[in-house]
Amino acid sequence: MKIARLVSNSRCSDILIKDGVIEAIGSGLAHSAPANAECLDASGLIAIPGLINAHIHSPGNLLRGALDGLPLEIFMLYEVPPLAEEGNEDLTYLRTTLGAIEMLKIGITSVIDDVYFVPRATAPAIDAVMSAYRDSGMRATVSLDQQTEVEYEKVPFLRDLLPLEVKSRMDNAPRQSPSELMELYDHLIETWHGAAQGRLRAAMSCSAPQRVSLPYLKWLGDTSRTHNLPMICHVLESRTQRVLGDTKWGKSLVRYLSDHGVLSDRLQAIHAIWIDDQNIALLPDR
């Protein structure tokens, strides 16, 4: 049991903590606490609820300073975590733990982590991430930010501009099928959703609508609805994405999501800055 005593010029207040849970807040609690209770002097400090980090990618914890500033679509071609080969679950655990420690040190106790795996997601890698958050004591909601589409389909005009040899290399690059990712989501939800006394939760992620096939996008939206899970979606982060929606589907990516039933109050539209007045009206309506 711990007593945290906050002292100001005008009053003194105690916070009684037992087994990691706040039991009471008020004055004079130290007098009624057990004799072996630990008293923490918090004079001159202020107690606030834990902060929330609403969006991170923990695989980037070891990437800081490793890349030059580049336009998003080019940057993502280089965004490969160090030592990212499959089977390195110990590094995945440590990388996630490092981020958790940094967040806890500055008062962040809850996080939404949109985790990408290079080149493939696996059940052991998912378990490594979730185990790190379990052991940290944080609240963590975790999604699988895996893409199913070939690279040249994500950027306007790229299919027509690239040499055949480059397109062939992109075609042969490792990608996971929707069926593989569905099985991994089943593992995430069945194994970890609600674990650690409810601190750990699952979320869905399409990364971005142009990065996954339409059937898989719809499945993610349906699963989000069925299990009442958040869904992470980067949408209209760049001018390039605005052009892609207009040229590929004749509509903005926000409208694309809406037309296919994915835009809802469960969806988190991440970095949505290249939106127009119609999108601004559509987002709060959904």
pLDDT tens track for 217-252: 999 999 999 999 999 999 999 999 999 999 999 999
- In SS3 terms, the chain reads as CEEEEEECCCCEEEEEEECCEEEEEECCHHHHCCCCCEEEECCCCCCCCCEEEEEECHHHHHCCCCCCCCCHHHHHHHCCCCCCCCCCHHHHHHHHHHHHHHHHHCCEEEEEEEECCCCCCCHHHHHHHHHHHHHHCCEEEEEECCCCCCHHHCCCCHHHHCCHHHHHHHHHCCCCCHHHHHHHHHHHHHHHCCCCCCCEEECEECCCHHHCCHHHHHHHHHHHHHHCCCEEEECCCCHHHHHHHHHHCCCCHHHHHHHCCCCCCCEEEECCCCCCHHHHHHHHHC
- The partner residues of 12 in beta bridges, in order of sequence, read 7
Please give the pLDDT value at position 238.
95
Q: Are 170 and 151 in contact (CB under 8 A)?
A: yes
The CA distance from 56 to 133, in Å, is 14
What pLDDT is attached to residue 7? 52
Query: Would the pLDDT of 15 be above 90?
Result: no
Residue 139: name the closest of 4, 264, 20 by CA: 20
State the pLDDT at residue 10.
54
Confidence of residue 3 (pLDDT cuts 50, 70, 90): low
Q: What is the pLDDT of residues 104-118, one digit of tens each?
A: 999 999 999 999 998
Identify which of 214, 217, 190, 213 has the alpha carbon closest to the alpha carbon of residue 201: 190
Domains in the chain, please, with CATH? 2-41 (no CATH), 51-285 (3.20.20.140)
The percentage of residues in the chain with a pLDDT greater than 70, rounded to a whole number, is: 96
pLDDT interval class at 46 (50, 70, 90): confident
4 forms beta bridges with 15, 40
**What was the pLDDT predicted at 44?**
80
Supply the mean pLDDT for the chain: 92
* Residue 50, both tokens: 């834990």
Structure confidence at residue 165 (pLDDT): 96
22 or 219, higher pLDDT: 219
